[in-house]
Amino acid sequence: MLESSNYLTPREIVAELDKYIIGQNDAKKNVSIALRNRWRRMNVKGDLGKEIMPNNILMIGSTGVGKTEIARRLAKVARAPFVKVEASKFTEVGYVGRDVESMVRDLVEQSISMIKELKKALVEEKTAQAVEDAILDALIPPLKSAPTTNNAGEYINSDHELNEKTRERFREKLRAGELEDRKIDVTVDKNSGNLGFIGGSPIDEGSMMNIQEMINGMMPNKKSKKRKMSIEDARKILVDQESAKLIDMDEVKDEAVKLAENSGIIFIDEIDKVASGGSKQGADVSREGVQRDLLPIVEGSAVNTKHGVVKTDHILFIAAGAFHLSKPSDLIPELQGRFPIRVELQSLTDKDFKVILRQPKNALTKQYEALLGAEDVQLSFNDDALDEIAVIAHEINMEVENIGARRLHTVMSHLLNDLLFDVPDVIGANAQIVVTKEMVNERLSGLVKNRDLSQYIL
Ligand SMILES: Nc1ncnc2c1ncn2[C@@H]1O[C@H](COP(=O)(O)OP(=O)(O)OP(=O)(O)O)[C@@H](O)[C@H]1O
Ligand SMILES: [Mg+2]
């Protein structure tokens, strides 16, 4: 995984982020450096690499300007295990609620499923072979008695010859996809995964880990059950079963722990909500408690997970918050020191909004065009219509509440609601709809003028 070609350069990372996030260049630049530095660290010769700490980042910016989006896309670009947690959801150790270590356990879970997918892909061919054989076994069970062959390896026993020939005929049919609806018996494991009542309980996984293992140990192992289903459905289950046989789970665990340790990204949202704002009483004390709990994890410690011990020293932490009511300096000094890189995200302007509407790979206009495209209706937006939508969204942000680019979602859905309702009953296939500036004004300007109304609707 360490080949340089797999790792993007800072500029390449920014270029990837640019496909989805408009503006916020400072934030993009800093996350790209942090990401590249991890590759650099892993390639440092000698012991110094262990000393090099990640450039944890504190992102400051009001709601809906792209903080979460940047972190999420970064993880995708890096193909790194990623978890997003809300600082305000944690409670101090000793109180009921999620303890901070659970974020590391979640990260490892993420890592495990990534590695599993990888390994699955590696044994794909072998798995397909085994699955095909298993399906054939279910269709035409092989004969129990041992075949007798002559010196040339031909069957003397005609039953076997017949059985083998039938199997081959079915194999061909199977490959041609002619048998997908045929029903076969499949043995399904029943107690795979967690026991329901534990998964649903509010008690944290950490404290329950051992209990779960104990209970599993007491229960009769592997209850399995035969079920009838179509070959098409059975294949999905068999692929899981057969690939599990081919994958060494201990290896998966080892690799997953390494991946989490060296490439994991933990995004801690709403960090401002645990800043104490200076006072030393009541809720503030417990917020400070959460910060104190966070400290060792961000600083580097060993966390027990059911897949092994995970060292957090080189996990990249990105914290984010609006910091409207508190300041970064309200965080306890030790924690501040652990987020050496501060980036401020800019408020988005109506010009940004227009670009956000049109340009990103997942832009809203593209999404709506695709939705109606599925009904064979061609939707398009005039340039001046986009200007108008952007201006209106920005105005509402200024007057009602600034929710950043999220405003575009509410405005667009209000604008297009009737249209989405009329297709295909009133507006049939092959229609072409062009959203014009006039249309935008007609549907939205009334709302913008009426502040009370827009508070509820937009
Ligand atoms: N700069 C941007 N470029 C493109 N899209 C953006 C940008 N900022 C926000 N968005 C869009 O707005 C939505 C909300 O953004 P995001 O989740 O990143 O907000 P946030 O900054 O994390 O806010 P919060 O503080 O409320 O968590 C995203 O789904 C994204 O599509
Ligand atoms: Mg967010």
Could you read off the pLDDT of 353-380 as tens digits, one per residue? Answer: 999 999 999 999 999 999 999 999 999 9
Q: Same domain for 144 and 192?
A: yes
Residue 385 is predicted with a pLDDT of 96
Q: Is the C-beta atom of 411 inside 6 A of ligand 1? A: no
Q: Is the C-beta atom of 65 inside 6 A of ligand 1? A: yes
Q: Same domain for 234 and 129?
A: yes
Which of the listed residues 296, 318, 344 is the one where a domain comes to its end? 344
Angstrom CA distances, 107 to 97, 176, 190, 202, stand at 18, 41, 26, 19
Residue with the smallest CA separation from ligand 1 atom 9 is 66
Output the CA 21–ligand 1 centroid distance in Å: 8
Domain assignment present for 431:
yes
Q: Is the C-beta atom of 321 inside 6 A of ligand 1? A: no
Closest listed ligand to the CA of 59:
1
Output the CA 289–ligand 1 centroid distance in Å: 29
Around Cβ 144, how many Cβ atoms within 10 Å?
5
Residue 210's pLDDT band, with cuts at 50, 70 and 90, is low
How much is the average pLDDT of 53-72? 93
Give binding residues as ranges: 22, 64-69, 269, 334, 406
Higher pLDDT, 222 or 197: 222
Domain assignment present for 218:
yes
Output the CA 80–ligand 2 centroid distance in Å: 19
Domain assignment present for 267:
yes
Which of the listed residues 194, 216, 246 is the one where a domain comes to its end? 246
Residue with the smallest CA separation from ligand 1 atom 19 is 64
Per-residue tokens: 72: 């999420």
Domain assignment present for 119:
no
Residue 126 near residue 334, CB atoms below 8 Å: no
CA distance 166 to 348: 68
Domain assignment present for 96:
yes
Q: Same domain for 358 and 330?
A: no
CA distance 48 to 310: 20
The enclosing domain of 403 has a CATH number of: 1.10.8.60
Q: How many domains does the chain have?
A: 3
Q: Which residues pair with 304 in a beta bridge?
A: 309
Q: Same domain for 151 and 165?
A: yes
Q: Same domain for 156 and 110?
A: no
Residue 199 is predicted with a pLDDT of 37
How many residues does this entry show for the chain? 458
Torsion over CA: 68, 71, 73, 79 (sign): negative
Residue 49 near residue 2, CB atoms below 8 Å: no
Output the CA 344–ligand 2 centroid distance in Å: 14
Q: Same domain for 192 and 263?
A: no
Output the CA 132–ligand 2 centroid distance in Å: 46
Q: Which residues pair with 266 in a beta bridge?
A: 83, 317
Q: Which residues surround ligand 2, an ion (CB under 5 A)?
A: 68
Domain assignment present for 410:
yes
Residue 2's pLDDT band, with cuts at 50, 70 and 90, is very low
Output the CA 266–ligand 2 centroid distance in Å: 13
Q: Is the C-beta atom of 322 inside 6 A of ligand 1? A: yes
Residue 181 near residue 230, CB atoms below 8 Å: yes
Residue 32 near residue 55, CB atoms below 8 Å: no
CA distance 140 to 154: 20
Average pLDDT, the chain: 86
Residue 202 is predicted with a pLDDT of 44
Q: Same domain for 239 and 307?
A: no
Residue 389 near residue 440, CB atoms below 8 Å: yes
CA distance 80 to 107: 10
**Segment among 4-13, 127-136, 161-170, 207-216 with least mean pLDDT:** 207-216
Residue 375 is predicted with a pLDDT of 95
Q: Same domain for 356 and 440?
A: yes
Q: Same domain for 332 and 315?
A: yes
Per DSSP, helices labelled H in 61-218 are 67-78, 102-122, 124-139, 158-175, 196-199, 205-218
Q: Same domain for 340 and 356?
A: no
Residue 378 near residue 433, CB atoms below 8 Å: yes
Residue 358 is predicted with a pLDDT of 96
Share of the chain above pLDDT 90, in %: 59
Domain assignment present for 376:
yes
Q: Residues 168-189: pLDDT tens digits? A: 899 999 899 888 888 888 888 7
Which of the listed residues 344, 370, 401 is the one where a domain comes to its end? 344
Higher pLDDT, 190 or 63: 63
Domain with 79, as residue range(s), is 4-114+255-344
Give binding residues for ATP as ranges: 22, 64-69, 269, 334, 406
Q: Same domain for 422 and 338?
A: no
The enclosing domain of 333 has a CATH number of: 3.40.50.300
Q: Residues 134-156: pLDDT tens digits? A: 999 888 887 777 666 677 766 66
Residue 381 is predicted with a pLDDT of 97
Domain assignment present for 263:
yes
Q: Same domain for 141 and 89?
A: no
Residue 197 is predicted with a pLDDT of 38
Is the pLDDT at 258 greater than 80, yes or no?
yes
| 145 three-state secondary structure | coil
Is the pLDDT at 200 greater than 60, yes or no?
no
Q: Is the C-beta atom of 23 inside 6 A of ligand 1? A: yes
